[in-house]
């Protein structure tokens, strides 16, 4: 038996466990600690993947980590250049470096794991989980991104792009894989980082950096990209042959983390938005301009690769920037590539899987297990009924599957919003039909109901559709599958009026195609809803309220009780809101 543990130990901490080449479980730390984007050392995730596998820590043969921390010369040189360019940035840069190198283990709140923890992996693991005799591997950061993403498809030859805030020395890597042989074509060095560029403007527009980037992306379609040329002239400069440079003297990521911005930013784009205030027209136009500049840079990076390799029509994208689903969609819409794939967890959490894959011979990897997004615990009926007993006034009745599907599809067709908790939890930031709020996409007003009563989020953020895979091209201008909800596609002109609740202001949607093989129960629900309404599409948003996506039955019941959702569908049970105990009765039951 061969057991390999993969770790992502700082931002979006996670653990993944392989047994004899099969991915048994992968968990983000935030799902267990309930701290959003938890960057603490993933001790709880490690314990959980071992529990799911039925193994002990001493059973682990190899541990693979998603960084090579000694390869920091490029980062150090880039840091010095930033300080020399703008001495006033020295305080922000050194403060950020200090935060990376030192973790505060004495704090009661979860903290990002320190950079120096990467040099103490063995000691940290054995102190927490007990002795174990394992080999320790440190894997190149961008390679871990790429290996995980590339496992999503059986392609012999393709282009592979990994881009994020930054790896050891690089922020963007472009490779070509031909018949299994990898060739690096472009290496864009930090601090020239599209991830940091995008995050800096996220902060300038009043959103929380490293969390609110998707909010700026959702705001962008409402505006006009009037600042695009100014950005490409002074901030994000596109060089010849696919290169790019970020003017870090103006676009200073580390200062932005402290809420400090160069005066030239406001000269170019006006006063920055204060957090919590409504965005004005200029803010909306700036969001559109940043998105347009980001997309221009993405196409610029890939253009020479396409010209040099005209036969390669398939693209793999990984890294945190791969979560820019709008940019992903443009690569298909304009014919740059015939097919694009992005994994369910393209951000740093997915590196836990990629690091482990680097230690397994490719012919020994069980690919179906890696491609499934459902990597969390699959809770037993006893766990579900125990949670329901705490929250419900009376025991709930399990339903046979046909009656179950009829009941749930009827509720949805009646305009009810349901909380859907089924099977193993998803790995990654997308709700893919295991931990979701679901609603009828035919009713435009349902968006306001979800935003005001449940999700408590900005009105400009769109909701995504899940669609039965065989019907996807009928409703959306997309000729490929999108199983991980990472591609934006245009809603067809003749179907936009049928699904207004998931159609964004620019007539696009972040499409999630659902196959019968990937998720039989969710596909059956979409099919049954389609039989009744003519629309095999559901509005699908993550099952959470200002918190990480729910993980356990208790999480699900607690979030359902705190929400305005009409019903909780968990396991074989359909629980209506009126079945809940009142607050005092629940408190007494828990006590």
How many CB atoms sit inside 10 A of residue 493's CB? 9
pLDDT of residue 456: 77
Q: Which residue has the tokens 């659902």?
A: 514
| Greatest pairwise CA separation for the chain in angstroms | 69
- Tell me if domain 3-67+102-143+350-371 and domain 381-590 are identical in fold: no
226 vs 62: CA distance, rounded Å: 52
The token pair that represents 287 in the structure block: 């969001």
Handedness of CA 424, 429, 435, 441 (dihedral sign): negative
Domain 153-342 fold is Nucleotidyltransferase; domain 5 (3.30.420)
Give residue 553's region: left, alpha or beta (phi > 0; psi -120 to 50). alpha
How many CB atoms sit inside 10 A of residue 505's CB? 13
55 burial class (0-12, 13-18, 19+ CB within 10 angstroms)? middle
The token pair that represents 499 in the structure block: 């699904």
The domain ranges of the chain are 3-67+102-143+350-371, 153-342, 381-590
CA distances from 120 to 9, 113, 170 (A): 12, 11, 23
- Indicate the DSSP class of residue 161: E
119 vs 126: CA distance, rounded Å: 14
pLDDT of residue 105: 39
Q: Which CATH number fits domain 381-590: 3.90.870.20, 3.40.50.300, 1.10.10.10, 3.40.1160.10?
A: 3.90.870.20
Q: Which of 184, 180, 181 is nearest to 162 (CA)?
A: 184
Angle at the Cα of 34 from the Cα atoms of 102 and 436, rounded to 5 degrees? 135
494 vs 271: CA distance, rounded Å: 41
Q: Which of 182, 220, 223, 222 is nearest to 198 (CA)?
A: 220
- Give per-residue pLDDT as tens, 120-172: 999 999 999 999 999 999 999 999 999 999 999 999 999 999 999 999 999 99
pLDDT of residue 192: 96
Assigned architecture for domain 3-67+102-143+350-371: 2-Layer Sandwich (3.30)
481 vs 474: CA distance, rounded Å: 13
How many CB atoms sit inside 10 A of residue 1's CB? 7
261 vs 283: CA distance, rounded Å: 16
- H-helix or E-strand containing 528? helix 520-533
pLDDT of residue 204: 98
540 burial class (0-12, 13-18, 19+ CB within 10 angstroms)? buried
- The C-alpha torsion from 129 through 133 and 139 to 144, rounded to 10°, is -60
Enter the pTM of the model: 0.93
- Give per-residue pLDDT as tens, 347-373: 999 999 999 999 999 999 999 999 999
505 vs 444: CA distance, rounded Å: 12
Low-confidence residues of the chain: pLDDT under 70:
73-112, 583-591
Do the Cβ atoms of 353 and 372 come closer than 8 Å? no
SS (H, E, C) 289-336: HHHHHHHHHHHHHHHHHHHHCCCCCEEEEECHHHHCHHHHHHHHHCCC
pLDDT of residue 73: 57
Do the Cβ atoms of 393 and 585 come closer than 8 Å? yes
């Amino acid at each position: 038996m061969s057991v390999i543990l993969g770790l992502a130990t700082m931002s979006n901490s996670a653990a993944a466990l392989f047994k004899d080449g099969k991915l048994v479980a992968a968990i983000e730390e935030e799902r267990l600690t309930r701290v959003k984007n938890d960057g603490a050392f993933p001790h709880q995730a490690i314990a959980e993947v071992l529990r799911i596998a039925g193994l002990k820590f001493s059973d682990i043969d190899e541990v693979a980590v998603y960084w090579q921390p000694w390869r920091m010369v490029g980062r150090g040189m880039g840091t010095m250049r930033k300080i020399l360019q703008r001495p006033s940035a020295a305080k922000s840069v050194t403060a950020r470096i200090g935060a990376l190198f030192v973790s505060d283990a004495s704090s009661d709140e979860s903290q990002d794991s320190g950079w120096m923890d990467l040099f103490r992996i063995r000691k940290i693991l054995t102190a927490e989980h007990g002795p174990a005799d394992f080999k320790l591997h440190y894997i190149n950061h961008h390679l871990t991104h790429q290996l995980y993403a590339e496992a999503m498809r059986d392609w012999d030859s393709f282009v592979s792009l990994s881009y994020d805030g930054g790896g050891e020395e690089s922020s963007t890597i472009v490779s070509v894989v031909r018949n299994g042989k990898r060739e690096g074509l472009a290496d864009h060095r930090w601090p020239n980082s599209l991830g940091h560029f995008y995050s800096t403007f996220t902060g300038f527009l009043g959103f929380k950096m490293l969390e609110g980037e998707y909010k700026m992306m959702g705001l962008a379609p409402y505006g006009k990209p009037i600042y695009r040329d100014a950005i490409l002239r002074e901030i994000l400069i596109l060089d010849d042959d696919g290169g790019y440079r970020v003017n870090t003297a103006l676009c200073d990521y580390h200062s932005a983390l402290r809420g400090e911005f160069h005066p030239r930013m406001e000269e170019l784009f006006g006063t920055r938005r204060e957090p919590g205030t409504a965005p004005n027209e200029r803010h909306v136009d700036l969001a559109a301009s940043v998105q347009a500049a980001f997309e221009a840079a993405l196409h610029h990076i890939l253009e020479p690769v396409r010209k040099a390799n005209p036969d390669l029509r398939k693209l793999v994208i990984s890294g945190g920037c791969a979560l820019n689903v709008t940019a992903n969609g443009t690569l298909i819409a304009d014919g740059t590539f015939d097919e694009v794939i992005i994994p369910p967890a393209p951000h740093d959490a997915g590196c836990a899987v990629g690091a482990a894959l680097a230690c397994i011979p490719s012919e020994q990897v069980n690919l179906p297990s890696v491609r499934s997004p459902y990597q969390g615990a699959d809770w037993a009926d006893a766990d579900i009924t125990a949670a329901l007993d705490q929250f419900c006034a009376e025991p709930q009745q399990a339903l046979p599957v046909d009656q179950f599907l009829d009941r749930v599809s009827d509720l949805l067709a009646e305009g009810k919003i349901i909380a859907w908790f089924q099977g193993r939890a998803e790995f990654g930031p997308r709700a893919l039909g295991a931990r979701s709020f679901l609603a009828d996409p035919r009713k435009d007003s349902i968006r306001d109901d979800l935003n005001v009563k449940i999700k408590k989020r900005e009105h400009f953020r769109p909701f995504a559709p899940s669609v039965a895979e065989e019907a996807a091209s009928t409703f959306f201008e997309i000729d490929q599958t999108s199983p991980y909800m990472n591609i934006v596609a245009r809603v067809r002109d003749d179907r936009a009026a049928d699904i207004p609740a998931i159609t964004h202001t620019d007539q696009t949607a972040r499409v999630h195609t659902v196959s019968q093989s990937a998720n039989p129960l969710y596909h059956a629900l979409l099919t049954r809803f389609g039989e009744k309404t003519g629309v095999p599409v559901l509005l699908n948003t993550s099952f959470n309220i200002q918190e990480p996506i729910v993980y356990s039955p208790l999480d699900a019941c607690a979030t359902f009780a705190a929400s305005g959702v009409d019903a909780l569908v968990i396991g074989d049970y359909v629980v209506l809101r009126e079945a809940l105990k009142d607050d005092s009765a629940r408190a007494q039951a828990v006590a």
